[in-house]
């Protein structure tokens, strides 16, 4: 294998336990065996401090962020490439979701901050966001990376929201989620996913799909789990990820990714 691409939360970042030393060692050893390592996450770059602390940036400088909408150089602290939602598409996405998801609220993600509606209740970035808009439409003045939709006033969970939004946004945007226990959707430009960004990186690096090892756990990982010839969903992951992956790895809290890497690279 020439490239290991892995999701973070719930895949190598254990629930309430962080990244294990076994996982850190396994990925570093894969690198020493000649493989590049690429993190592929829904997180924006500003949330990757934990990963940089664990691995540094010299060996693993690039990261796919925002579910494939942003390719970022962690070492140089700069954007490599962006795939943004256009202004017309953004207005249409918001209009369709307002019509079909009662009580929906929105936030928009840029590479260094996000903007949210007053009614949108954040779970992260509290105190780091930009507030002051009654409706997200007031802030759609230029393209942006990701739209986030939350339904905290309803009983809909993320899977139910995804079931409603997928046909509503078909042909207009990519819609997914990364937490089935929440009530939150993540929307990117049409055709943008972790898989599309991974394919771009593989082309830049001259690596074939058959030479890539992919790990994930949630619906936002499904496109790259389907795309890769060699893909693993962790046992603790979402049923959709299980169905998409070619193989299953042990659970995240059991260092499942590290276990597979140790076998594949004969560590």
Residue extents of the structural domains in the chain: 3-82+193-264, 87-189
If one compares 155 and 187, the residue with the highest pLDDT of the two is 187
pLDDT surpassing 90 at residue 148? yes
pLDDT surpassing 90 at residue 261? yes
CATH of the domain spanning 3-82+193-264, picked from 3.30.360.10, 3.30.470.20, 1.10.1740.10, 3.40.50.1000: 3.40.50.1000
User: The pTM is what?
Assistant: 0.95
DSSP assignment of 180-237 equals: TTS-EEEEEETT-SHHHHHHHHHHHHT--GGGEEEEE-SGGGHHHHHH-SEEEEETTS
Domain 87-189 has CATH 3.50.50.60: no
pLDDT surpassing 90 at residue 15? no
Confidence of residue 144 (pLDDT cuts 50, 70, 90): very high
Per residue in 57-107, pLDDT (tens digit) is 999 999 999 999 999 999 999 999 999 999 999 999 999 999 999 999 999
Per residue in 195-226, pLDDT (tens digit) is 999 999 999 999 999 999 999 999 999 999 99
**Predicted pLDDT of residue 123:** 66
């Amino acid at each position: 294998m020439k490239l290991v691409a892995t999701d973070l939360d719930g895949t190598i970042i254990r629930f309430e336990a962080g990244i294990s030393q076994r996982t850190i060692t396994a990925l570093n050893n894969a690198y020493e065996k000649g493989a590049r390592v690429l993190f592929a996450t829904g997180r924006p770059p500003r949330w990757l401090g934990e990963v940089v602390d664990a691995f540094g940036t010299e060996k693993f400088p690039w990261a796919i962020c925002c579910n494939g909408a942003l390719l970022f150089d962690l070492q140089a602290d700069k954007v490599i490439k962006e795939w943004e939602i256009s202004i017309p598409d953004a207005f249409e996405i918001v209009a369709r979701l307002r019509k079909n998801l009662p009580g929906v609220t929105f936030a928009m993600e840029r590479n260094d901050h996000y903007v949210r509606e007053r009614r949108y209740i954040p779970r992260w970035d509290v105190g780091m966001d930009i507030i002051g808009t009654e409706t997200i439409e007031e802030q759609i003045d230029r393209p942006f990376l990701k739209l986030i939709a939350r339904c905290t006033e309803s009983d809909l969970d993320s899977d139910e929201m995804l079931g409603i939004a997928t046909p509503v946004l078909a042909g207009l945007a990519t819609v997914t989620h990364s937490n089935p226990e929440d009530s939150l959707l993540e929307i990117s430009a049409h055709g943008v996913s972790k898989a599309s960004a991974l394919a771009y990186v593989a082309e830049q690096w001259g690596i074939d799909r058959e030479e890539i090892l992919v790990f994930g756990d949630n619906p936002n990982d499904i496109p790259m789990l389907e795309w890769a010839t060699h893909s693993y969903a962790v046992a603790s992951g979402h049923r959709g990820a299980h169905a998409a992956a070619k193989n299953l790895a042990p659970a995240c809290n059991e260092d499942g990714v590290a276990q597979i890497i140790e076998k594949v690279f004969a560590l």
